[in-house]
Amino acid sequence: MSEQSGAFIAELIASRGDPQRCRARLEAAQLRAQECEPWLKAFVYRPDSHETVDAVAKPLAGLPIGVKDLMATHDMPTTYGSPIYQGFQPAEDAWIVERIRHFGGIVFGKTVTTEFAWREPGPTVNPWNRLHTPGGSSSGSAAAVGAGIVPLAVGTQTVGSVIRPAAFCGVVGYKPSHGNVSKAGVHPLAPSLDHVGFFARTVEGAALCHALFVDAKPEVLESLDAWHTYFTAQPPRKLGVVRTPFWDRVTPEQKANFDATLARLQAAGATLVELDPFDAMPSMLDALQTILQVEAARAIGPLAADHPDLISTHMLALTSAGAAVSPEKYETALALQAKLRSEFAGFIDGCDALVTVPATGGAPEGLADTGDATFCAPWSFLGVPAVTVPAGQTPDGMPLGFQVLGRQGDDLPTLQAAAWIETVLG
């Protein structure tokens, strides 16, 4: 379920302009999907065939990519995880889908999302153990990469919907800084918190997404020299360790893995500093919940009112709560978000990146719930870049992750620090 760091970009560049090589890669993805999909259920829709001829000369060279079914596709159904939109096909692609196609990527299929990216799970299971959740809301995207069907997939995160499922499925998750990737054509849940993000098998794959969809620099894929000039693993001088006020929610296995990972990073040359656990976090999570409720009520409340029989109890509860929030409480929550975003640079001052856990532990058993997003929520609220890398397994073989965070806008340095951590962890 993984590949050697460095091999992915080399293969992508080597296959550029080679239709046979691109076709072989696509056929391998199709074969893997045929093997896995009967039980994995990562995709809600896959086309019967894909055309690669016009794509092979471009940066993504016919690369098969999973796209979360929260994103509009003009040539495939887009249901947003809701029966309300059964059979719906938009007139235009979402911005991120248009960019994937523009750079030569192949939309391999639409991946399962929870209902409007909230709590009602879809049918997807964890590729490491089908009795466990893959996480959510980007369930299918994480599972499709984790199972080795596609090398890249696109998801969204409002609270924890990229970082947590990536950790649960043993892959790399990358949530760019808020606003760094256009959300045009992506169904909103809470625009003040919504991010478009990415899943990959290595940090280098996530950095490819950053190069194309954040930095808009396709020229860095013209040669390996150009790529290595743009992106290399950078050892951080100092890492801030954040255990948060919610550390009692972390499982013993995740705590032990986190401490062992820190010891390996320190042995490899990183200086570690334990930071104050950000005492404002409880109020941050309260404010996040307020913003989420109000903005979900605006985005989905009218649909819930028109189709009460087709909306889950989870979404009805969220939108009903949002409708009851006073304007004053909502404005206060937004003001706190703006204040803490401006203060975060001071909190991280002196550190190249922060590190913490991405989840309370490995993926929980059962499919009725997608897991606790507490250890992703503060960073979604602040809108800072976040990356999770695989860091080991629980005693029963479920993946564990390690989360790396940076300053707002410092996405590339955060990815470079994560790439070094990935190298240390092997």
Active-site pick, 15, 82, 137, 380: 137
In 3-state terms, the chain is what percent helix, strand and coil (to 5)?
45, 15, 40
Q: Tell me which H or E stretch contains 309.
A: none
Check if the beta carbon of residue 198 is closer than 8 Å to that of residue 162. yes
Going from the C-alpha of 82 to that of each of 7, 60, 159, 252, 304, the distances in angstroms are: 38, 31, 19, 37, 11
Q: Which segments within 69-161 are labelled E, that is strand? A: 106-111, 152-157
Going from the C-alpha of 135 to that of each of 64, 76, 240, 349, the distances in angstroms are: 22, 24, 27, 32
Check if the beta carbon of residue 414 is closer than 8 Å to that of residue 405. yes
* Closest alpha carbon to 180 in 415, 419, 347, 410: 410
Q: Tell me which H or E stretch contains 78.
A: none
- The contacts of residue 220 (CB under 8 Å, 6+ apart) are 211, 226, 227, 229, 230, 231
Amino acid at 64: P
Instruction: Please state at what angle helix 203-213 crosses helix 95-102, rounded to 10 degrees.
Output: 100
Q: What is the CA radius of gyration of the chain?
A: 20
Strand partners, 192: none
Check if the beta carbon of residue 242 is closer than 8 Å to that of residue 277. yes
Question: Which pair of structure tokens corresponds to residue 347?
Answer: 């909190």
Active-site pick, 15, 139, 161, 380: 161
Active site residue 137: yes
How crowded is the C-beta side of 59, counted as CA atoms within 13 Å?
Answer: 21
Active-site pick, 68, 110, 175, 183: 68
Strand partners, 354: 240, 405
Active site residue 161: yes
**Residue 21: exposure state from Cβ atoms within 10 A (0-12, 13-18, ≥19):** middle
Helix and strand counts by DSSP (H, E) for the chain:
13, 11
Ranges of H-type helices in 348-426: 377-382, 411-425
Check if the beta carbon of residue 415 is closer than 8 Å to that of residue 200. no
Catalytic positions are 68, 137, 161
